[in-house]
Amino acid sequence: KQEVTQIPAALSVPEGENLVLNCSFTDSAIYNLQWFRQDPGKGLTSLLLIQSSQREQTSGRLNASLDKSSGRSTLYIAASQPGDSATYLCAGMDTGRRALTFGSGTRLQVQP
């Protein structure tokens, strides 16, 4: 059964800093991986999807990588802003399934 873990659970950084959020998964049968943002009391906003054949995906200041052999994905946020403050979730999709398995998230606070 796929297990997804995110470290750290919480992170506080000053504005302008570059940062890396980590996601690890136990089963290499993972097919692709999606990163989401969740604001307090709100739904999940899709940020990036890394396809099975890709090693990374970029959108603006965000860059996500996927290394199936090591069971890891990272989300890199460049030049962080207070508006980036939210919980970031990674979720993996296993081969042959559509269900997403979520990590517990990293709660990010960017201090102005």
Partner 1 sequence: EPEVTQTPSHQVTQMGQEVILRCVPISNHLYFYWYRQILGQKVEFLVSFYNNEISEKSEIFDDQFSVERPDGSNFTLKIRSTKLEDSAMYFCASSEGGGQDTDTQYFGPGTRLTVL
Applying CB under 8 A, the residues found at the interface with partner 1 are 31-32, 34, 36, 42-46, 49, 51-53, 89, 91, 93, 96-105
CB of 72 to partner 1, least distance (A): 18
CB-nearer residue toward partner 1: 15 or 55: 55
CB-nearer residue toward partner 1: 41 or 83: 41
CB of 77 to partner 1, least distance (A): 20
Per the DSSP assignment, residues forming a β-bridge with 57 are 64
Q: How far apart are CA 112 and CA 106, in angstroms?
A: 19
CB of 31 to partner 1, least distance (A): 6
Confirm if 19 and 108 have CB atoms less than 8 A apart: yes
Q: How far apart are CA 46 and CA 25, in angstroms?
A: 19
**Structural element, H or E, at residue 27:** none
Q: Residue with structure tokens 């998964």?
A: 25
CB-nearer residue toward partner 1: 30 or 80: 30
